[in-house]
Structure 1
Amino acid sequence: MLLSALLLAPLASGQQTSPSVTLEEALRTARERQPQLRQARSATEVARAAAAEARAPLLPQASLSASYERTTANFFQRPGMLPPSVTRPSPSATASWKTFNFFNGGATVNQLIWDFDQTADRWRAAKVRTDAQKESERTVASQVALSVRSAYFAAWTDKSLVGVAQETLRNFQRHLLQTEGFVQAGTAPEIDLAQARANVATAKAQLIAAENAYLTAKAQLSLAVGWKRGLDYDVTPPVFDAVEGEDAPVETLEAEALARRPELAALRRQVDAQHLTVRAIQGAYAPTLAGSVSATTGGITVKDLGWNVAAGVSLSWQVFQGGLTRAQVQGASATASQLEAQFDQEHLQVRFELEQARLAILAAKATLRAQQDAVLNARERLRLAQGRYSMGVGSGIELGDAQVALSNAEAQWVQAQGQLFIARAQLLFALGHG
């Protein structure tokens, strides 16, 4: 922590004119505004609506109708209406343009009684798919959190590298002033002055590159969060402790991941929903029983309407459809097998992600320890080189090399710290934490 404070001191001492953004603020904003999450929530609402739609055929279906017409009442004969022996006047002889009112109304209630769970299983499958979509929404939330954390840590790393570049430039500028004095006094050769000026120019270019990288990283962070804001903000040093169990064997981590990963839960529910779909299709092999109740009314005046009431049941059975149902069952069963294989593949992917994140954490920790030693030794080297140069026994090249070595060591330490944070974020994701 002392080394971290030393590396970040140049930034902390500068004027902070831009507002600061914390990791928690970035995550909270992403949960509210990220378009991917909004799309996932909308997809969940679509799934809920589909489940309600699938339930509708199980409920009574009621309809009302009413009509009015003004009609003539001319009689005309049709084949089969009267026996041949019965004579009627010619239609043309009795035709008239006189019209009459006719009112007609009706009400019908239909209810599915039993269809061997075709409709019920479709509804159950739709409900399970809704649960699967909820898990998919959680998956998107976890992916967004990983993207935000990774982008934030990358931005913090680049900001720290800006601090390293600033401190390097200040040191080279101090060396330049010192070298100019030595050259004027005749205690250092002209080549040292040329080397010092070149070092300052190189440090300026590296600072520009570091600042540009930091701006680019903040643009990536804004994209991950879903911000529509400029880049006039700064990230603060993240507080990201070790993940519980990050040093545990992968078998221990795998048990937790299998219980928590939303992708696996979504696939489990998709498999269950597909098996219910297979059962629903198989119900088409059996008949369907339905009932209905209807009432009708009609007449030529509203005050004197006649009425009728009817009730009945109907049985329908698709005895043969050219093998349609069998083909649908085969297709749905194959889809279920495909989803089961996809679940197994996702299981393997989860184990790989756990291994990858765990190994990345171990490597980052080891690298961090090594780079801490490298920074301390590079600082000591620079101190000795400065002392030698001040006493006139060292060269400007030796001093510049020592400064470059320190800058590289500090940059690699910062990058190792960022890699450790990102690896822990990947482990959180692999374990199923949002």
Structure 2
Amino acid sequence: MKKYQPFLLTILLLALFPALAKSEVPIQKGERLNLSRCVETALRNHPVVQGARDTIRIGESRIGQAQANYYPQVNWQTDYTRINRSRTGNSTYSDYNSSVVLSQTLYDFGKTKTSVNIEKLTTDSFRQDLHRAETEIVYGVKSAYFSLLQAEKNRDVAVETVAQFQHHLTQAKGFFEVGTKPKFDVTKAEVDLSNAVLNRIRAENDLRIARVGLVNALGIPSAPEFSLDDSPLFQKEKIDLADALERAYRNRPDLQSIGKKVEAADESIKLARKGYYPYVTGSAGYGYSGEDFPLRDGWNVGALLNVPLFSGFQTRYAVEEAKASLDVLRANEASLRQTIRLEVEQALSNLREAQERTEATRVAVRQAEENAELANGRYDAGVGNPIEVTDALVSLSNARTAYIAALTDCRIAQAGLEKSIGKRD
């Protein structure tokens, strides 16, 4: 019985903790993914998002570095010097020193506080950069998701078209064998079938490429095979320009990021001006020194007032640089607002056009289906010709493909609108 214990223990652990075994793989083979699942996976795994998170860590470390001036600095100093005094009989002796020194900035007119505020604002800007990266990733996932659905639907249309032309070829051969149709009908049907097969091959290749695009958008290039939920392809959402602009100005992470940079630049002007002010530091030390062992111990306490009298106009130019940097950021902020309005208006226009095209192509599909049914019926009755059937089936295939493209463009335009207003889910 003992030799089966490890095996039984493994089975028990897998039964008790199935989620533990599953969590190691972001996507399970054969899993059916919906849009929200894909977005969640990308935000958790894409290296661009991880890089933006690491940038925030850099900012948080810089905050800690700036705050270091609030605390005392403790150093251990030790030195040995060999001294020769030729004027006193050419005597030579050694000098030993070893001490622990504590120094503390007592007052610096708010320089440290301002430096900490600048780093905090800069880190807040990094957080908005993370949100912007997430927005870009979400848009990329949605575009790739709907492009893959489009490729799947186009492949299905191509497969169905091949089946229809195969059926037509079988009919033509039957009519030719009984002598009611010429050889031309068979040859024409064979050519049409070959063209349909070529279209199917291209559609299958487009499907493979679209799948590669989605797994890369998810940040998991080695993802196993999976299927997609196609219900989001048929969803609709209405939004007007005023509401979109209001949401964009409130939520766009790049606008929020530059706003934090403007605040940090304003603080930088204050910090540069503090170069005109003095600062006071205190120090204390305890150590041993002497020419020979045992060394004598001693301590010291002192304060230092440093008053900048003239620094070659360095502070003046530092203030001017900070002011110019602030002006540049404010100009960039105004330019970004104009760009945001342009992006929102273009996205809304693209969405309206895609929605109108969706309705038009839906009608075209219904008409093409009726036309194909009539053409096939006429040919079955022996009164039609193969050109009518070919034209009808090609028109039906084109209409269905156009409808799928309109649906896809509509959803991608919706994703573009969501990106332009700063939506991250």
Task: Normalising by structure 1, report the TM-score.
Answer: 0.85
* Corresponding position of 1:290: 281
Correspondence for 1:146 among 128, 136, 139: 139
Contact 1:219 1:231 in 2 (8 A): no
Deviations 1:262-320 (A, max 9, x none): 11111100010011111101111122222222223335888x65333222221223322
Mapped to 1, the partners of 2:165 and 2:224 lie a distance apart of 29
Give SS of 2:362's match.
Answer: helix
In structure 2, give the amino acid aligned to 1:21: L
One-letter amino acid of the structure 1 residue matched with residue 359 of structure 2: R
Residue 166 (structure 1) aligned with residue 159 (structure 2) = yes
Alignment-derived partner of residue 63 in structure 2: 51
In the TM superposition, residue 228 of structure 1 has moved relative to its aligned partner by 2.8
Tell me, yes or no, if structure 1 residue 253 matches structure 2 residue 244. yes
Q: Tell me, in whole angstroms, the C-alpha distance in 2 between the residues paired with 1:290 and 1:409.
A: 80
Q: Which residue of 2 aligns with 1:279?
A: 270
> 2:102, 2:283 within 8 Å by CA — same for their partners in 1?
yes
Letter in 1 for 2:262: V
Question: Counterparts of 1:401 and 1:316 in 2: how far apart (Å)?
Answer: 92
CA 1:40/1:187 → structure 2, altered by over 3 Å: closer, same or farther?
A: same
State the distance in 2 between where 1:59 and 1:34 align.
39
Give the corresponding residue for 1:11.
Answer: none
SS in 2 for 1:51: helix
- Does 2:326 match 1:336? yes
Tell whether the 8 Å contact from 1:65 to 1:105 is kept in structure 2 after alignment.
Answer: yes
Counterpart position of 1:8: none
Superposition deviation, residue 109 in structure 1 = 1.7
Distance 1:290 1:313 in 2: 6
- Output aligned runs, 1:290-309, within 5 Å: 290-298=281-289, 306-309=296-299
RMSD of the TM alignment (CA)?
2.4
Query: 1:426 corresponds to which residue?
Result: 416
Deviation at 1:19, TM superposition (A): 4.8
1:107-126 residue pairs with structure 2 within 5 A?
107-126=100-119
Structure 1 position 337, deviation (Å): 1.0
1:130 aligns with 2:123: yes
SS in 2 for 1:239: helix
Residue pair 1:114, 1:288 contacting (<8 A) in 2 also: yes
| CA offset digits 1:6-36 (Å, max 9, x no partner) | xxxxxxxxxxx95543323322221121110
State how far apart, in whole Å, the 1-side matches of 2:234 and 2:279 are: 62
Change (3 A) 1:51 1:205: same
TM-score by length of 2: 0.87
In structure 1, what is the equivalent of residue 22 of structure 2?
none
Contiguous gaps of at least 5 residues in structure 2: 1-28
Distance 1:277 1:308, change over 3 A: same
* Equivalent position amino acid for 2:138 in 1: A
Question: Structure 1's 180 and 419: CA in aligned 2 closer, same or farther, altered over 3 A?
Answer: same
What is the alpha-carbon distance in structure 2 between the residues aligned to residue 297 and residue 182 of structure 1? Answer: 116
8 A Cα contact 2:368 2:399, kept in partner = yes
Partner of 2:308, secondary structure, is: coil
Count of matched residue positions in the alignment of Structure 1 and Structure 2: 396
Distance 1:227 1:310 in 2: 62
SS of 1:292's partner is strand
CA distance in structure 1 between the partners assigned to 2:108 and 2:291 by the alignment:
41
Q: Check the 8 A contact 1:64/1:106 in 2, yes or no.
A: yes
What whole-Å deviation, never above 9, does each CA across 1:100-133 have from its counterpart, x for those lacking one? Answer: 9x86432222121222323321221011100110
Which residue is equivalent to 2:394? 404
What runs of 5+ residues in structure 1 fail to find an aligned partner?
Answer: 1-16, 79-87
SS at match of 1:265: helix
Match of 2:196 among 199, 203, 209: 203
1:13 matched residue in structure 2: none
Q: Give the letter for the 2:194 counterpart.
A: A
Question: Is 1:37 matched up with 2:49?
Answer: yes
Flag the 1:398–1:75 CA change in 2: closer, same or farther, 3 A. closer
Query: 1: distance between equivalents of 2:285 and 2:215?
Result: 62
Maintained 8 Å contact 2:146/2:233 = no
- After superposition, residues 312-327 of structure 1 pair within 5 angstroms as 312-327=302-317
AA aligned opposite 1:247: I
Within a 5 Å distance, the mapping from 1:321-400 to structure 2 comes to 321-400=311-390
Distance, in Å, in 1 between the alignment partners of 2:33 and 2:182 is 49
Give 1:194's aligned residue. 187
Question: SS of the counterpart of 1:429?
Answer: helix
1:224 corresponds in structure 2 to 217
Distance in 1 separating the partners of 2:346 and 2:147: 19
Query: Secondary structure, in 3 states, of the residue corresponding to 2:382?
Result: coil
Question: Taking structure 1 as reference, are residues 175 and 231 closer, same or farther at Cα in structure 2, changes over 3 Å only?
Answer: farther
CA contact under 8 A between 2:284 and 2:302: conserved in structure 1? Answer: yes
Give the aligned partner of residue 36 of structure 2. Answer: 24
* Residue 197 (structure 1) shift: 0.7
Q: In 2 relative to 1, CA 329–241 (structure 1 residues): closer, same or farther, beyond 3 Å?
A: farther
Residues in 2 aligned to 1:384 and 1:241: alpha-carbon distance in whole angstroms = 29
What secondary structure is seen at the aligned counterpart in 1 of 2:127? helix
Larger Rg: 1
Of all paired residues, the percent bearing the same amino acid is 28
1:60 touches 1:109 (CA, 8 Å); kept in 2? yes
1:156-178 C-alpha deviation (Å, 9 max, x unpaired): 10110000000000000000000
Please list the CA deviations of residues 364-406 of structure 1 after superposition, one character each: whole Å capped at 9, or x if unmatched. Answer: 1111111111111111111111111111111100011000010
Does the C-alpha gap of structure 1 residues 231 and 296 become closer, same or farther in structure 2, counting only changes over 3 Å? closer
